[in-house]
Amino acid sequence: MTKLSVNINKIATLRNSRGGNIPDVVKAAIDAQNFGADGITVHPRPDERHIRRKDVFDIRPIIRTEFNIEGYPSRQFIDLVKSVKPHQVTLVPDPPEAITSNAGWDTITHLSFLQDVIAEFKEAGIRTSIFIDTNPDFILSAVNTNTDRVELYTEPYATLFPINPEKAVAPFVEAANIANKAGLKVNAGHDLNLQNLKYFNEHIPFLKEVSIGHALIADALYLGLERTINLYKEQLIK
């Protein structure tokens, strides 16, 4: 069964809009795990507009599943991750001003940079994943970074899915096969939801984990967090 990592950034966004500690992101992480999440994902940004550095340190001790920290590997981010020592770090090529992640790494152009960053995380004993498009050349080049996994950037799939599901999923099937053959494990994330997740999971081979935040937290406003997590988990049963 594909694992579900719940991204709780939007919980922090809501808290930050008012100040104080409502809703409590640590409690949200605890509840998500109790309700069946296989992991918790956070994406701290330099401006702390959602998850803050303090949140990352506060959340780490209560994790009993897996902790995934994603973000752009600036020096500040690298030092934070090495201090916290999550189970996995996902490297995302978004600049500080980006609203959300909107592209994968060009692992050919940035090969040397990624090699150096990943070497640091490997030395610290942290599993690494690279956010990446379905471009076969980028996936094959990712092998040379020494990463453990790639996370397929699924916004193109989500955009095309309502129009042509078969065409939408085809490049991701190919990408997953290429990654597996090259010795990389496969994660996926971005704009996956209750409408498109089941189809994606059924068609993508070797899929280890999906990371979902925005849609899942939005659904939880109507359905409640426990029911929502259970519904997402149901989509991941093959």
Give me the active site residues, please.
43, 70, 190
CA–CA distance, 26 with 7 (Å, rounded to integer): 12
CA–CA distance, 67 with 56 (Å, rounded to integer): 10
Do residues 92 and 70 make contact, with C-beta atoms less than 8 angstroms apart? Answer: yes
* For helices 225-235 and 214-223, angle between their N-to-C axes, nearest 10 degrees: 130
